[in-house]
Amino acid sequence: MTDDSTGRDFSQPQGEQPRSEGGPSNAEGGSQTPARRVPPRAPAKPSAAERRADEEPGFVQSLFAPVAGFGVTFGTMFRKVLTEEYPEEKRPTEARFHGRHQLNRHPDGLEKCVGCELCAWACPADAILVEGAANDDSEGGSGRFSPGERYGRVYQINYLRCIFCGLCIEACPTRALTMTNEYELADRSRESLIYEKKDLLAPLLPGMEEPPHEMQLGSTDKDYYRGMVGAAVPAEGGGDK
């Protein structure tokens, strides 16, 4: 059964109309051109005036905005003020505070630094300068400053560059370089903030001898680095990590 006006076959179930081999036909002319897929239209963007209207606060918000701002000020006016009486009263730092560096010594006074320059390579700010030299135990030589083959002849830290990250002390293989709790490093000249080896070396404790001198606590350098020495190791400078 067909409809004369449209040519539609009502004998077929609805939704299962026969389709020609050439693709979907045009209802008016019966052409066999395939139907094109029309992409969905993007939503229209709001105009600049509409965006400004959405962003502008309402009348009530504009009225109470200054009150809310002054409320924070009034709320802090009646709080107790905690004043630190620095420098008369210095608060103690945390146990792992990163402060001024220190070059440590072995219990007999020999330096732990072997001039490997690993701390200088690890420094991201290029604040450390190390120049190593060989220990000379021969007669008339410079003597022994560390248990190893070398020692740090020149050691400088530029605190104008140092960021106190602690990567240098992590890279040190002999625990020669540590960081103390000292944080008062301000000065009046740039030159005074470049610390030399004499400024960084730990002080001599009782039982220590100023190098150069022979190894006194072990026959080899491994005895020093493994802690296999005859004397007890004294505590290193305050707050080192």
Q: What is the mean pLDDT of the chain?
A: 80
pLDDT for res 28: 52
Residue with the bigger pLDDT between 123 and 63: it is 123
User: Residues 125-132: what's their mean pLDDT?
Assistant: 96
Distance CA 45, CA 226 (A): 73
User: Residues 45-66: what's their mean pLDDT?
Assistant: 72
pLDDT for res 229: 66
User: Residues 211-218: what's their mean pLDDT?
Assistant: 86
pLDDT of 192 strictly over 90 = yes
Residue with the bigger pLDDT between 145 and 19: it is 145
pLDDT of 237 strictly over 60 = no
Mean pLDDT lowest among 21-25, 92-96, 108-112, 155-159: 21-25
Residues 112 and 227 sit within 8 Å (Cβ to Cβ): no
Distance CA 121, CA 167 (A): 10
Mean pLDDT lowest among 45-59, 112-126, 170-184: 45-59
pLDDT for res 236: 45
pLDDT for res 239: 46
**CA dist 148 → 75, 157, 229 (Å):** 64, 22, 15
Q: What contacts 211, CB < 8 A, 6 or more positions away?
A: 109, 110, 111, 143, 144, 145, 146
pLDDT for res 81: 83
Give the pLDDT band (50/70/90) at residue 133. Answer: very high
Model-level pTM? Answer: 0.62
pLDDT for res 177: 96
Residues 183 and 87 sit within 8 Å (Cβ to Cβ): no
pLDDT of 158 strictly over 90 = yes
* Cβ-defined contacts of 23-29 (< 8 Å, 24+): none
Give the pLDDT band (50/70/90) at residue 36. Answer: confident
Give the pLDDT band (50/70/90) at residue 15. Answer: low
User: Residues 33-45: what's their mean pLDDT?
Assistant: 71
